[in-house]
């Protein structure tokens, strides 16, 4: 009985592992589960919302909301890493994060650009 249970557990783990690998290449699922996204929602969304920027927060900080729109950012990975370490103008520093967390966040910030459909953001 013990042996059977052990075989069953090994079987379940094997199936779970395969499914994990099958879905690992699925972009939206990978993004949904990415540590960068989770961190972004905890630490950055307050000001950057879903990446487009929080206009109300821009008003409170007396800064231009366009500067908080990360989907339009041209910053390189090195520049993003630096901004996170030192902060910039009204943006605070996140130097307490680990190097890995900063790497995950940087990758997520860059991924926000590709996701955007090429449509005008506002009809005038
Ligand atoms: C308190 C509000 C606030 C929080 C929280 C915040 N930011 Fe910012 N962020 C800003 C502001 C304001 C700017 C514009 C800075 C400037 O004047 O250049 C900015 C700019 C940036 C830029 C530069 C965009 C560019 O190309 O000019 C990046 C990248 C960025 N933020 C990433 C992040 C990430 C990642 C986090 C979470 C770890 C985060 N920010 C958290 C307010 C914030």
- The counts of H helices and E strands in the chain are 7, 0
> What is the residue with the minimal CA distance to atom 14 of ligand 1?
67
Which of 34, 68, 71 should be mutated for ligand 1, with most atoms under 8 A from CB? 68
Structure tokens at 103: 């790497």
Ligand 1, CB within 6 Å, residue ranges: 43-44, 46-48, 61, 63, 67-68, 70, 73-75, 80, 83-84, 88-92, 94, 105, 109
The beta-carbon contacts of 90-95 under 8 Å, at least 24 apart in sequence, are 90/61, 90/62, 90/63, 91/47, 94/43
For ligand 1, the distance from its centroid to the CA atom of residue 4, given in whole angstroms, is: 55
Per residue in 68-105, pLDDT (tens digit) is: 999 999 999 999 999 999 999 999 999 999 999 999 99
CATH number for the domain running over 34-114: 1.10.760.10
Question: Of 74 and 32, which is predicted with more confidence?
Answer: 74
């Amino acid at each position: 009985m013990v042996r059977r249970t052990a075989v069953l557990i090994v079987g379940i783990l094997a199936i779970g592992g395969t499914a994990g690998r099958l879905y690992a290449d699925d972009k939206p699922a990978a993004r949904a589960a990415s540590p960068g996204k989770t961190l972004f929602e905890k630490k950055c969304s307050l000001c950057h919302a879903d990446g487009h920027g929080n206009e109300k927060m821009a008003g409170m900080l007396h800064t231009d909301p366009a500067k908080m729109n990360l989907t339009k950012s041209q910053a390189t990975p090195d520049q993003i890493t630096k901004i996170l370490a030192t902060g910039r103008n009204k943006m605070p520093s996140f130097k307490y994060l680990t190097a890995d967390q900063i790497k995950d966040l940087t990758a997520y910030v860059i991924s926000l650009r590709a996701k955007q459909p090429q449509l005008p953001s506002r009809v005038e």
